[in-house]
Chains A and B, each alone.
Chain A
């Protein structure tokens, strides 16, 4: 059945012009947006940023080889370290208490002297834009649960992902585009599959929409083979005529009008979503800025460039995965850390640097938060000689952009990079901080489900105040 709310008023206002003929008011702040789940909502407090680009380094990038240098590992190379616990490792048969020094050289960059290893030479030029958090920790040292936690706060399946919470909390400013977009690595999706961008118990309107870099950006965007635009339009014209006649005979049922509008919008999206991913509109110089002129950095560069175009078009949350499928195709450097990270850093270095440059030049960096990080870090000890295992007790992410103190290091791990020891930051803390920057109070952003007011941060989460600008 339909609720009686007026869907007519929002006909044709964008991807957000969706009607929820919901039987239930599941939605805690539904009162003001029952007719349009993606209508923009005034946040709890003034926002610092409008959009988030999450560069998700899937597989677990090694903090001690990229941003958190540990001279002690050189000293202990090949020896046992006192903090090690066999229970902490994932590959228990292969990972023993044998420290492994980093194969990379580190240097300090920028006025702030941020440590970055030689893997990221282009990114290093942006050191003064970065806020490096070296004291992250999470609750699982296995990809599936840890990715779930980074995305949804819980190591279990079924919670809405952060992108869903943001679009639920704020709506989207995009006209004919979704509010939460996901772009996969060319090697495929990470494990957990589409559950990683699930809307959980929220309406489907808040689900992440996978965008593809080639062909149709969104599924079902083009008519099937043999159906021209003209033929499609003719069909839609008859459909509209009949649907309008039917709606006129049922004037109180605004869901009928909403569905008519959804077809017109779908028709427009076919052009506008296609336009959004049309990179031929970008100059050769801009394409090269993102590394599109290089085979290795092409794929991720393309996604970074797309992310900037989507930010310009008002998309709220864009998640880009670097690393797909599993094993060496992801940042999951069990066998050979150097080989793995050489590749994935080369794939992402110029694209990320290009993104930061471009956002800055276009004045978008102040209103955009860029997050770099994976689901966990890697062990200071060796796995099978040259690799490193999963490690959840201490790892690094960095943030850059609006509302964030640029050029700082927050928190620390112990001398081996094992435990986060100083200013520890949990995943819910990170989530609370991201929501805060977007103008949302993580304790107030709730969604009623199974009799409970659910939160992205569940029962924890503290805003990381020292990193706020």
Chain B
């Protein structure tokens, strides 16, 4: 269905363009010369490329319009430019792949085709695709704050934008969430851990008008904030501690990039600087160790360095595949543009040509993967003396990288013209020349030019994409749902004025995240309850206009980290090489290389935050993987929040949960003895962030007494503790534990 829809869309776009963008219609391409072209096609091509026979490669050559519509490899021709036209290239002698597959057009036949292609006026064939009229390519505006009826509700300017849209649809915002809900939401949003009963109580007791602001400030100042938001960033940048593929080669220094991200976010590094360092840290004039580590951004993808074939072509193909990953990650992460689609043909939805892709490749083409020494570590025979004291970097080592060829159909056997390094023309708001570097320069400076272009406050995409990502983690969904695709094939922009207001706000405030979190969290929009409202559901069932806060399932890391925090076992130690908590031994044979150790029993060295778990590509940590942690191969924009029975099996039966439930129960008993009301109340509040109702208290008491007597009957030596463990275990599995309001 989707495919059909997509083809219709492309064809419609093309037809519309033909018929409305100029006064002329397809008649222009149906010139006399096409009659001759048609003879060539009939003689040589239509047995595979016509509706009457079959349509190979989706290309139908029976009418001029259909030829122009192209096939599954993209456009068959570039109007007015035969040399850039795939069809013309493929019929040349010795060209691979070749058309016709078995045979060769006569020279005069090729000339007929060439003349026809060169004769088609580009303006006639100019499609809607080539225009810049898509909203995401327009400059970020600073929309005026709208006038609204319910002025009292508004706390921040952004609320006025939300409310204006709600009022226009006769929707009302939801009542403010109660304080216990709010403090729990704030903790999970900012640090990914639950508030302690004491923290909850402190907030409840604080009746000052800025009580919530104080909580937000405190959380933003906590280093746990960087661990939480750093993880969101690592999802985008494909972070892992091994290479995947054959040997799953360990990357003993990858964690330095992870720590760099966490530290940068904790320090609230301005976003422009964060961009520059990751894309071109080595090209910054004052580059230090930190900036070189940041270039690990380009090293995070899977790799198979020693095993992708031996011929120079194999090696080059693999190098280009890896750079493709870097280009994709860069444009998806920072600009929400699927540039990678243009590797083999012009982009089918967005005005990005294949040439644009290769011009961007030219920016990265001089880079190489280098393991640089950390200070104090020497390099001997080209290798680090201590391989664990290195920097995984992606750097340019020459001012004049070798020329970059466009590759027709992305095929290394099919090089086209040399292209210069350049930013995609249609995405830029002004000429952005990439200067040749001086001959004595250390590097080409191309990536720095790209980074400056991406980071420019005039870039129409960068800041829209960023605020949308930040919004997504506060509301569970972006204003544009496809947070890595702001192109035409992406989701609709649910609230264009709001998105622009937020982007403008962030730019005005220096591109730092912390003030922005605060701006959002102190809004009435954010502080709404997440309750159900039948009337609102009838109008806006998907809550696209934000008439309430969304309920969300905790992410994998937050689930594990919360269990540790609640049990009182979480070790807050930050940074350093990845940790390897216990994986069931029977799961270990799934990966034979770079083996995970067999852990008989976990200790506090394993009970650190999940962002520090060694990310082994061949064997992702099961608890995290089952709860939708990213697979680290591609950009992960937006995690799924699946609900599958294997998750239930893990939380019911895994030793980790059992062990932590026991420790949780023991720690409670140590403090409260056998004061059951106190034990239940504490277990409940620690886990779920609120006091149990009287009904729940009595249910829990009944459960405890039944379990304790059952344990007594089965000769347990610690029947009371076992009963409390049962309760703690139930709490770790509860919906109220795993969903936040």
Which residues of A are at the interface with B, using a C-beta cutoff of 8 A?
1-4, 15, 17-26, 28-29, 31, 37, 87, 90, 92, 140-145, 156-158, 184, 188-189, 191-195, 198-201, 203-205, 209-210, 212, 215-216, 218-228, 230-232, 234-236, 238-239, 241-243, 246-247, 250-253, 255-256, 258-260, 262-263, 265-267, 269-270, 324-326, 443-444, 446, 448-453, 459
Contacts A/B (CB < 8 Å), 21 sampled: A15-B645, A18-B645, A20-B640, A20-B641, A142-B308, A144-B304, A145-B245, A157-B617, A157-B633, A184-B589, A184-B590, A192-B245, A218-B649, A242-B735, A247-B735, A266-B649, A267-B652, A269-B649, A444-B1, A446-B2, A450-B332
Given contacts A87-B311, A219-B587, contact A23 B641 (CB under 8 A): yes
| 17 additional A-B residue pairs with CB within 8 Å, beyond A157-B617, A158-B302, A262-B648 | A1-B475, A1-B477, A18-B642, A18-B643, A23-B640, A145-B308, A198-B631, A203-B628, A218-B649, A220-B650, A220-B654, A221-B649, A222-B653, A259-B648, A266-B649, A450-B328, A453-B6
Contact between chains at B310 and A92 (CB < 8 Å): yes
Tell me which residues across on chain A come within 8 A of B477, comparing CB atoms: 1, 23-24
B339 to chain A, nearest CB (A): 9
Tell me which residues across on chain B come within 8 A of A25, comparing CB atoms: 481
Q: Taking the complex as formed, is B268 at the interface, i.e. its CB lies under 8 A from any CB of chain A? A: no
> Closest residue of chain A to B642, judged by CB?
A20
Q: Taking the complex as formed, is B487 at the interface, i.e. its CB lies under 8 A from any CB of chain A? A: yes
Q: How far is the CA of A205 from the CA of B344 in the complex (A)?
A: 31
Contact between chains at A2 and B551 (CB < 8 Å): yes
Contact between chains at A242 and B696 (CB < 8 Å): yes
Given contacts A87-B310, A459-B73, contact A193 B593 (CB under 8 A): yes
**Proximity string of chain B (478-519) to chain A, C-beta cutoff 8 Å, 1 when within and 0 when not:** 000110110101110000000000000000000000000000
Contact between chains at A216 and B586 (CB < 8 Å): yes
Q: How far is the CA of A140 from the CA of B643 in the complex (A)?
A: 37
Contact between chains at B653 and A221 (CB < 8 Å): yes
B697 to chain A, nearest CB (A): 12
Given contacts A157-B633, A193-B618, contact A259 B73 (CB under 8 A): no
For window 642-671 of B, CB contacts with A under 8 Å fall at 642-650, 652-655, 658
Given contacts A193-B593, A242-B730, A451-B490, contact A156 B1 (CB under 8 A): no
Given contacts A192-B246, A221-B653, A231-B726, contact A239 B646 (CB under 8 A): no
Tell me which residues across on chain B come within 8 A of A31, comparing CB atoms: 1
Contact between chains at B592 and A193 (CB < 8 Å): yes
Contact between chains at A224 and B658 (CB < 8 Å): yes
Contact between chains at B641 and A144 (CB < 8 Å): no
Tell me which residues across on chain B come within 8 A of A188, comparing CB atoms: 589, 592
- Across the interface, A29 reaches (CB within 8 A) one of B1, B328, B532, B654, namely B1
Q: How far is the CA of A236 from the CA of B311 in the complex (A)?
A: 59
B11 to chain A, nearest CB (A): 15
B174 to chain A, nearest CB (A): 12
Q: How far is the CA of A15 from the CA of B648 in the complex (A)?
A: 12
Given contacts A201-B634, A446-B3, contact A144 B309 (CB under 8 A): no
Contact between chains at B643 and A259 (CB < 8 Å): yes
Q: How far is the CA of A145 from the CA of B593 in the complex (A)?
A: 16
> Closest residue of chain B to A25, judged by CB?
B481
Tell me which residues across on chain A come within 8 A of B625, comparing CB atoms: 204
A171 to chain B, nearest CB (A): 14
Q: How far is the CA of A374 from the CA of B541 in the complex (A)?
A: 50
Q: How far is the CA of A326 from the CA of B591 in the complex (A)?
A: 11
Tell me which residues across on chain A come within 8 A of B653, comparing CB atoms: 220-224, 227
Q: How far is the CA of A244 from the CA of B328 in the complex (A)?
A: 44
Q: How far is the CA of A37 from the CA of B640 in the complex (A)?
A: 12
B512 to chain A, nearest CB (A): 26
Tell me which residues across on chain B come within 8 A of A253, comparing CB atoms: 532, 551, 739
Q: Taking the complex as formed, is B552 at the interface, i.e. its CB lies under 8 A from any CB of chain A? A: yes
Q: Taking the complex as formed, is B699 at the interface, i.e. its CB lies under 8 A from any CB of chain A? A: yes
Q: Kindly specify which of B133-141, B271-279, B566-574, B703-711 makes contact with the partner chain.
A: B703-711
B472 to chain A, nearest CB (A): 8
Question: Counting chain B CB atoms within 10 Å of each CB, which of A193, A234, A236, A326 scores highest?
Answer: A193
Q: How far is the CA of A235 from the CA of B665 in the complex (A)?
A: 15
Given contacts A1-B551, A252-B532, contact A204 B321 (CB under 8 A): no
Q: How far is the CA of A351 from the CA of B151 in the complex (A)?
A: 76
Contact between chains at A194 and B590 (CB < 8 Å): yes
Tell me which residues across on chain A come within 8 A of B736, comparing CB atoms: 242, 246
Q: Taking the complex as formed, is B340 at the interface, i.e. its CB lies under 8 A from any CB of chain A? A: yes
For window 538-566 of B, CB contacts with A under 8 Å fall at 541-543, 550-553
> Closest residue of chain A to B533, judged by CB?
A252
Tell me which residues across on chain B come within 8 A of A225, comparing CB atoms: 655
Contact between chains at B72 and A459 (CB < 8 Å): yes
**Proximity string of chain B (63-82) to chain A, C-beta cutoff 8 Å, 1 when within and 0 when not:** 00000000011000000000
